[in-house]
Amino acid sequence: MALPTIAFLGTGLMGQPMVCRLLQAGYAVTVWNRTAGKTHTCVEHGAVRAASIGHAVRQADVVITMLASGPVVSEVITAAFADLPESALVIDMSSTRQSEACAIHTLLATRGIHFIDAPVSGGVAGAEAGTLAIMVGAAPADFARVQALLTILGTATLVGPPGTGQLTKLCNQLIVGGTLHLVAEALLLAKTGGADPAAARRALRGGFAESKILDVHGQRMLDRYFIPGGQVTSQCKDMENIMDAAQNLHLNLPQAQLVTDVYRRLLKTDPQADHSAALLDLERGNPGVRLSDKKDQLPTESNL
């Protein structure tokens, strides 16, 4: 059976390595990005660059979007709408609000086009390695149709109907955002109290406190390496979407509010830094205290 042809819209930090993995697996991929230069690596690996959104999607069996936010996804899907084949299946792998995913699902359904929301966790490293956690909101038959494709990118789990993938991703980001700040607090507490924070991190990793955040971002904090895998802008957007979902569901989430406030502050000071820059916000609240004397490695035009 021939592999489905793919139109991939959005080849930024996450989209580019995802496209490359699909190409390596033998899929034919047409790419489009608002900044055409960001498709260069994909084209070098065998993708076809489309001059327009319509050209990208016109012959596609599967259309994948990996874009910055819900409004951008809506804008791109609206622009592609008239050119989408009725047999196409649209997969949005961006991180958006649940309400935005449901609105796109409703729009596409007016032409009988099926929709899946499948946001991911795992960052650029996970995209490169094909180890993303993919949270899928879809009809079971639609999930079955693209499960093999999603397996190229990571581990896909069907969590419910369209819209629930985004809700599950928000649950993921709530845990990530909260844990990042707690790891920063724990390491700063260890350092200020006289312990070697690197040794304390190693000791903590042997017990119930072990997590990927303590592993990856704990080391980033010790190294003061804030060049992004995931950016403050993205984490802040996710926290705002969490608060929006909580409000819509009439839930009071006090810890989510605290973490959201942290990222609102960081959005003003370090928007392009890795989200482990939660440490920087914590240090600013404790004048004269630093986790280490290493120089901060922050994003610049040359390393983004």
**C-alpha to C-alpha distance for 53 and 76, rounded to whole angstroms:** 8
**C-alpha to C-alpha distance for 221 and 273, rounded to whole angstroms:** 12
Q: What is the pLDDT of residue 300?
A: 85
Q: What is the pLDDT of residue 203?
A: 97
Q: What is the pLDDT of residue 123?
A: 86
Question: Within its chain, how far is the Cα of 143 from the centroid?
Answer: 20
Quick check: is 38 catalytic?
A: no
List of E strands, 83-153? 89-92, 114-117, 120-121, 132-137
Q: What is the pLDDT of residue 302?
A: 64
**C-alpha to C-alpha distance for 28 and 85, rounded to whole angstroms:** 17
All domains in the chain, ordered by first residue: 6-162 (3.40.50.720), 167-284 (1.10.1040.10)
Residues of the chain with pLDDT under 70: 302-304
Residue 117: closest CA among 163, 152, 78, 49:
163
19 near 11, Cβ under 8 Å? yes
**C-alpha to C-alpha distance for 296 and 304, rounded to whole angstroms:** 15
Catalytic residue among 38, 169, 237, 294: 169
Q: What is the pLDDT of residue 303?
A: 64
pTM (two decimals): 0.88
Question: Within its chain, how far is the Cα of 200 from the centroid?
Answer: 30
Q: How many residues are listed for the chain in this entry? A: 304
